[in-house]
Amino acid sequence: MKSPELELKALMLASLGGDAAAHRALLDRLSRHLRGYYKRHLARSGRSAEEGEDLVQEALLAIHLKRHTFDVESLFTPWVHAVARYKLIDHMRRNRISRTSVPIDDHRDLLATDDDAAIESTRDLERLLGSLPEKTRQTIEAVKLEGKSVAETAVRYHMSESNVKVTIHRGLKALAALVGRGTGA
């Protein structure tokens, strides 16, 4: 059985290659994940399900319009989570909802919220990242998952900016090789 990360990324890659059916399937699968993600986060702040549906549509549109920005050598679900997270933050700002009322910083949230999906993808991601050397894992998590800048990450881990970039590049190549072999460790 393939993990959700592998299935979704395969659909994304086919979509980028011009496969319209794969693109429709990708958006359908993502809509279920996004619906659960937004429903849970908005409920914590006392917001309605209708707001969540609007956010699902906004996120799907952003994913469709920005799909060309996806780095095919990167993991797909953290990229989707970033889009979903930014849409949630924008919604909260527009509606003057306190960011502290909705915890949105955990990238592991997105796939775990689909009613049809288990936490398998979270474990896959953690297992993949756990197979990397600590400094490599930390720099990837900081830049690619937490959204920190290369400069912020360099300061945080006492590295040069170029070393951060090289470390991330090599780490992502190693992760891509692991995913390509179908193993998580």
The lowest-confidence range among 16-25, 30-39, 90-99, 114-123 is 114-123
d(CA 185, CA 181): 10
Residue 78's nearest CA partner among 22, 148, 133, 19 is 148
Largest CA distance in the chain: 46
- Asked if residue 118 has pLDDT above 60, the reply is no
Query: What would the mean pLDDT of 127-151 be, rounded to a whole number?
Result: 85
Q: What pTM, to 2 d.p., does this model score?
A: 0.54
Q: How confident is the model at residue 98 (pLDDT cuts 50, 70, 90)?
A: low
Which CATH number is correct for 1-104, 1.10.1740.10, 3.65.10.10, 1.10.8.350, 1.25.40.10?
Answer: 1.10.1740.10
- Asked if residue 40 has pLDDT above 80, the reply is yes
Residues 6+ apart with CB under 8 A from 64: 23, 27
Q: What percentage of the chain exceeds 90 in pLDDT?
A: 30
The one-character DSSP state at 102 is S
Note the pLDDT tens digit of each residue in 159-182: 999 999 999 889 888 887 777 665
- Asked if residue 47 has pLDDT above 80, the reply is no
The one-character DSSP state at 143 is I
Pinpoint the residues of the chain covered by CATH 1.10.10.10. 107-184
Report pLDDT for 97.
66
Q: Which class is domain 107-184? A: mainly alpha
- Asked if residue 106 has pLDDT above 80, the reply is no
Pinpoint the residues of the chain covered by CATH 1.10.1740.10. 1-104
